[in-house]
Amino acid sequence: MTRSRNIPGFKRMALSLLEQADVVVGGSRPWDIQVHDERFYTRVLLNGSLGLGETYMEGLWDVERIDQFIHRLLLQRLNYRVQPLSARFLAASSRIANRQSRSRAGMVAEVHYDLDNDFYQAMLDDHMAYSCGYWERAETLQEAQDHKLALICRKLGLEPGMRLLDIGCGWGSLVRHAADHYGVEAVGVTISRRQAELATTRCKGLPVDIRLQDYRDIDEKFDRIASVGMFEHVGYRNYRHYMKIARRCLDDDGLFLLHTIGQMNTDFNVDPWIERYIFPNSELPSMKQIAEAVEGIFVIEDIHSFGADYDPTLMAWHDNFQRAWPAFADRFDERFHRMWEYYLLCCAASSRARQMQVWQFVLSPNGIPGGYRRPALSG
């Protein structure tokens, strides 16, 4: 009885918020949503982004273009205005507890990265690079990832004979490229068993060592270090410790390139839906948090921001995912299919709304004499 009295009130509130984003329930535009179950309104108002994502996974609503719908919500900052208690608790726990401790570090591999190598091969480019591409002069996903890897190697000034460490190497895209094109000896570490297995196979015949290892256990010297799309799993309470580990492993005249997704505000907010279903214990750093973490450990030589490039990267992954889905429909169910398309398109919308950033930092232990000059992509 109480629930039936509350539903109209929640519906009125939800419709008012949607109206501010120029979204019409039952409308005909690509971003207008079709609600199939009235419980949608209560769930979203009570649970925020968690309720929005879960009700989509359950089929309570549909929309022709998830990315356009979410983009409109984010432009009105509705994700900040609908903050249920569960989201506030998650933010508080990120500040107080170490959700990315050594004992919890493997959870994201079990849930996400160990999913299915064939699945990721179908979704990603030939390098299997699972981070934002560089689209300044690219027209395809493959070109964007080619250019991203080349740019990283040029920023690091890689030369034959150098030793490169890749913290969070994924399926080996960077170490493979660096060893093949720049003649370096490379070590890649990952906590994903399936990533390590496939990366080892893909790097066969090259001077590359792929290790199933936590970053906290690395203790040897390298000329260069890179970390591409892994810092999002380190966590606020570990940022400074992470930087100290990178410093102990880097030669005094070395360079460290950190590529990470970031957020605009230092607010410890974690998206509850992403945290529960996609990246357990994930946490996006702010610029302030990174600066505080490196203070007294590294000199910040260069900051390169190209967060808008994540939008076309994610849209390309989504296109690949949808084309490949018939081959995987018998391995995963329709709930998984809806979950995955929601994840990719929501992140594309967040990048498009510029709430999700992408930064590349070049760091040195003592500062480069005469200063650092960011290299061009080529030439």
- Those residues whose C-beta lies under 8 Å from the C-beta of residue 13, and which sit 6 or more positions away, are 41, 45
Confidence of residue 10 (pLDDT cuts 50, 70, 90): confident
Please choose, from the candidates 60, 58, 50, 57, the residue with its C-alpha nearest in 3D space to the C-alpha of residue 82: 50
pLDDT for position 253: 97
Residues 334 and 231 in one domain: yes
Domain of residue 11: give its range. Answer: 2-82
244 and 274 share one domain: yes
**Does 297 map to a domain?**
yes
Residue 370 lies in a domain: no
Phi, psi at residue 358, to the nearest 5°?
-135, 125
Same domain, 151 and 280: yes
78 and 113 in one domain? Answer: no
| Average pLDDT over every residue of 183-192 | 97
Nearest to 104 by CA among 237, 198, 225: 237
**How confident is the model over 95-116, as a mean pLDDT?**
75
Tell me: do 169 and 27 sit in the same domain: no
Task: Give domain status of residue 94, yes or no.
Answer: no
Is 377 within a domain? no
- End-to-end Cα, the chain, rounded Å: 71
Q: How far apart are CA 239 and CA 286, in angstroms?
A: 11
In 10 A of CB 38, how many CB atoms?
A: 13
Same domain, 315 and 206: yes
Mean pLDDT, rounded, for 154-178: 98
Q: Poorest-confidence range of 55-59, 118-122, 139-143, 233-237?
A: 233-237
pLDDT at 90 over 50: no
In this prediction, residue 78 carries a pLDDT of 87
Same domain, 50 and 127: no
What is the DSSP pairing of strand 356-364 with strand 250-263? antiparallel
Percent pLDDT > 90 in the chain is 82
Q: Which of 27-36, 84-93, 124-133, 147-156 has the lowest mean pLDDT?
A: 84-93
**pLDDT score of 138:** 97
Query: Is the domain of 195 the same as that of 247?
Result: yes
Q: Report pLDDT for 379.
A: 44
Tens of pLDDT, residue by residue over 210-268, are 999 999 999 999 999 999 999 999 998 999 999 999 999 999 999 999 999 999 888 76
Tell me if 376 is assigned to some domain.
Answer: no
Give residue 307's pLDDT: 96
Last residue in a domain, options 82, 117, 137 = 82
Mean predicted confidence (pLDDT) in 299-328: 98
Q: Identify the pLDDT of residue 268.
A: 67
What is the tally of structural domains in the chain?
A: 2
289 in a structural domain: yes
Question: Could you tell me which residue, 296 or 3, shows the higher pLDDT?
Answer: 296
pLDDT for res 209: 98
Q: Among 34, 52, 82, which residue terminates a domain? A: 82
Higher pLDDT, 47 or 305: 305
The answer to whether 135 and 309 are in contact (CB under 8 A) is yes
Per residue in 274-293, pLDDT (tens digit) is: 999 999 988 999 999 999 99
Q: How many Cβ atoms are within 10 Å of 135's Cβ, its own excluded?
A: 22
Tokens of 139: 């027209």
Rounded mean pLDDT, 339-357: 97
| Residue 298 domain-assigned (yes or no) | yes
Report the candidate in 314, 304, 271, 232 with the shortest Cα–Cα distance to residue 91: 271
Does the residue 185 lie in any domain?
A: yes
CA dihedral 69, 116, 175, 215 (to 10 degrees): 90
**Same structural domain for residues 248 and 330?**
yes
* Same domain, residue pair 112 and 78: no
Cβ burial of 335 (10 Å; 0-12, 13-18, 19+) is exposed
Residue 249 among the catalytic residues: no
pLDDT for res 84: 57
In a shared domain, residues 172 and 308? yes
The 10s digit of each residue's pLDDT in 16-35 is 999 999 999 999 999 999 99
**Residues above pLDDT 70, as percent of the chain:** 91
| Residues 70, 119 within the same domain | no
The CATH number linked to 225 is 3.40.50.150
